[in-house]
Amino acid sequence: MSSFQPLDPREEDELHRTRLLNVEEKPFKRITKRLLTPGSLVSTPSKLPTPPPDATEESAEIERQNQLEERRQFREDVLLDFAAFDSSMARIQFLYNSNERERERYKADKQRILDTAQEVRNNTAHLRVQLEEAKKTLAQRKKFDELTEKITNNKLLRPRSDQEINLRKLEEECRELERESATYGETWKERREQFGRIVEEGMQLRRLIRDEKEEVERREGMDDQDEDGEVGEGSGGGQTPKPASMSRNATPAPESQSQGGLEPSKPHPLATEALSRGGSRATSRAGSVGPERRREASVAGDDVTPSEHTAKVSETVDTPMADGEAPRVTVDEPSPDEGEAEDKMDTT
């Protein structure tokens, strides 16, 4: 399809000169011809006319009537020509106004068409994007259909209704496991608190044992001082010292305690009594150690935290117990894989 482009100014002028203007020019040419021709009534002749020959009055009257008739006819023709020219000018003005309105309308239509074309281009780009997305979705659905077809045609798989029942069962089991997990969490929290209380009671029991141990060591020190005094008196008198006084590793007899002026300690509860006895026996077997060093060891034992004490208890679970040594209890934390948390107690 051919496209029209705006003309150059020279081409427009040539077009204006060559266009058909016979209809518009004809009234103007008629007026100019009627007014400017040599035979016109309004034109001035270049020389006087030749006087007519002598004539009678009748011929003069006839001549005068002819002139009046010519003038009347000329006036009518001029009026008609001007009326035609006036109508032609009005027609030209109407055409000019119509052309102005048409140009405005064409301009508005052009802008509207350009806006519509831009909107169509934008809509086309948007639709192209939607088309690409729709193609991707269609390809994905086709793949899903192929996979679904393979799954549904597989005879080894169960029907959909059975699978839905199994899924509901699995969901119920998952909820049950979640409830059990919450219950196990509460149980483990309570057992952790119990374990903390056990560790605290163990620390209190250890302090009681330490106090008992210090009391026994104090008594042994006083007995050793008494025995040293007796040995000094015996050597001054030339007597041989007793074997019991020479060995400091032996446990002092109750008689020596009564002779030293010391009273036995009061009995404690069952667990404290057993542990205090075991500690006193182990101390008596371990050999003579200075009171100051023993006190330093007891003070260092006070600085042990409950976690360190628990670690030490777990490390000494499998070691054989000495005579009279107190039993030790170890509680292990249950692993997450176990279905039920259990306390493992090892009493040796």
Q: Which amino acid is at 48?
A: L
* Mean pLDDT over the full length of the chain: 72
List, for residues 253-276, the tens digit of each pLDDT value.
444 444 444 444 444 444 444 444
Q: Choose among 67, 66, 70, 82: nearest CA to 32.
A: 82
Q: Higher model confidence: residue 248 or residue 23? A: 23
The DSSP symbol for 155 reads T
Beta strand extents in 41-183 (DSSP E only): none
Residue corresponding to tokens 């023993």: 294
Percent of the chain with pLDDT over 90: 28
List, for residues 293-321, the tens digit of each pLDDT value.
444 444 444 444 444 444 444 444 444 44
Q: Do residues 191 and 332 make contact, with C-beta atoms less than 8 angstroms apart? A: no
How much is the pLDDT for 27?
80
CA distances from residue 43 to 33, 35, 251 in whole angstroms, order as listed: 11, 7, 176
Q: Copy the structure tokens of residue 339.
A: 């279905």
Summarize the confidence of residues 90-98 as an average pLDDT.
Answer: 90
Domain extents in the chain: 18-37+65-151, 164-232+250-312
* Residue 245 banded pLDDT, cuts 50, 70, 90: very low
How far apart, in whole angstroms, are the C-alpha atoms of residue 9 and residue 6? 9
* Residue 346 banded pLDDT, cuts 50, 70, 90: very low
* Residue 57 banded pLDDT, cuts 50, 70, 90: confident
Lowest mean pLDDT, pick from 124-128, 130-134, 283-287: 283-287
